[in-house]
Chains A and B, each alone.
Chain A
């Protein structure tokens, strides 16, 4: 199986300070890969460097085997990748309708298709319909996270990168958020790289897992193996 997204010896950091080193990660078509690790392990830095938000210091980022190292987020988005960023990926002063409109404009969704795309996303996350016209600043954390995921889905990506979507959410809310994403992934063969600290919930929907520590990958395997590994699970 050839990887849809892959890194080879990827290194990145901020202002000359290395954060991740020599990372080889592979995302296969139609799988959910869960990446776990403590704060500061380099998970978000890895996602940002894969998506072009920070320039790698070394190594490669490959999409469908094609070298995309150093490409901009715009170029990465054009390959069918969408990123749900850490924190609340919404603009507080914009309404949900505006955020969706801007997201589709940025993703170059053809104008005639836009109402249909919004309906498609509202079919996956129907709760959004209740607050479509409200400014994002007035929404709860869970509602904002739904909007952020909904915006990412509007481009109908084939690869979805999600950076700690559970932050600030109650476990039940997180489950409610992940369930439709998992259903969509299974229905449409979406590939998902999920960075999470909420290990138990994230492993439930994952096909494979990797563990990061101090900027390096230290473990890779099936979610059940990780769940049975008391030593590793004790750490998270």
Chain B
């Protein structure tokens, strides 16, 4: 029964990891911008929900406020930081340092406003009920899995069937050719940031009601996103989804053989194993992009 319990918990964690990592993967894959502040998008979404829901806004307005916060942050960061750096032929490293700096600034501002300790959103949905003998699952676990299925399925449909989705894939392939077609790469890049940022919202909200939040959670989110992107295969959205779920499951099932303080190390053991044995990841291309 313990294995079933851990598998269900792992699926919930994996669904949240997948949602978080896919946003980063989409942005990085299509724009080549190492958006380290993706973790800050998660933090902003989570704390917007925490603050507005706590202020009695109701679930739907609080979700919309959370989405607004994440998307506005992503778009402003793109327009005010990344685009000016790119305009001046900024290197990959310059973009990374700028993004890292913004992530730290967001963490400190959130810490000043809400405090540095853990906070949690209280809801009856986070209370576990006994599904089978000795197997307890909260409704939020099913909501997390359902949200991941809807958002990730919707994203795949969007990327394959809409012109903006095709343009995002085209941008990942060849930005100069995108201009030759008469499309605006900056507008497509902004779309990548808007979509990549909004996808973290369900993960941020569910996390605020399950494990809780701290301003520093963005670093953990970023590390998981990076690990899932590499394990899944850089540039592969499907691979990142799969890797997110697998990492969540592995972290949880590892409790069968190791103590809880080692679970995060399992993620990085898997990451290092992939870097050494299969650097192209689960579904990535074998050659450098």
Binding site for B on A (CB under 8 A): 15, 51, 53, 72-74, 76-78, 83, 85, 89-94, 98, 101-103, 105-107, 151
Contact = CB atoms under 8 A, between A and B. Distances in A.
A91 B180 contact: no
Interface stretch (B51-59, B141-149, B163-171): B163-171
A76 B173 CA distance: 23
Contact of B180 (A83, A93, A105): A83
Nearest to A78: B182
B176 interface: yes
Contacts of A83: 180
5 contacts: A72-B184, A83-B180, A91-B170, A94-B166, A94-B173
Contact of A101 (B166, B174, B177, B182): B166
B172 A102 contact: no
B132 interface: no
A155 to B, nearest CB: 8
Interface of B: 89, 163, 166-167, 169-170, 172-174, 176-177, 179-184
A76 B180 CA distance: 10
Given A91-B177, A101-B163, A102-B163, A77 B170 contact: no
Contacts of B174: 91
A107 B173 contact: no
B184 A105 contact: no
Contact of B181 (A15, A78, A102): A102
A89 B177 contact: yes
B238 to A, nearest CB: 12
Nearest to B182: A77
Contact of A103 (B89, B176, B179, B181): B181
Given A15-B89, A85-B177, A105-B166, 12 more contacts: A53-B180, A73-B180, A73-B182, A76-B182, A78-B182, A89-B180, A90-B177, A91-B170, A92-B173, A93-B172, A94-B166, A98-B169
B184 A74 contact: yes
Nearest to A136: B173
Contacts of A74: 182-184
Contact of A51 (B177, B180, B184): B180
A4 B83 CA distance: 35
Contact of A105 (B163, B172, B176, B177): B163
A85 B163 CA distance: 21
Given A93-B173, A94-B173, A106 B181 contact: yes
A78 B181 CA distance: 11
A161 B213 CA distance: 56
Contacts of A106: 181-183
A72 B176 CA distance: 13
Contacts of B163: 101-102, 105
Contacts of A102: 163, 166-167, 170, 181, 183
Contact of B179 (A53, A78, A94, A98): A53
A76 to B, nearest CB: 8
A94 B169 CA distance: 7
A93 B169 contact: yes
Residue among A92, A106, A107 having the largest count of chain B Cβ atoms under 10 Å: A106
A107 B173 CA distance: 20
Nearest to B89: A15
A212 B100 CA distance: 48
A73 B185 CA distance: 11
A118 to B, nearest CB: 15
Residue among B89, B169, B176, B177 having the largest count of chain A Cβ atoms under 10 Å: B177
B148 to A, nearest CB: 24
Nearest to A163: B180
A102 B89 CA distance: 28
A101 B167 CA distance: 10
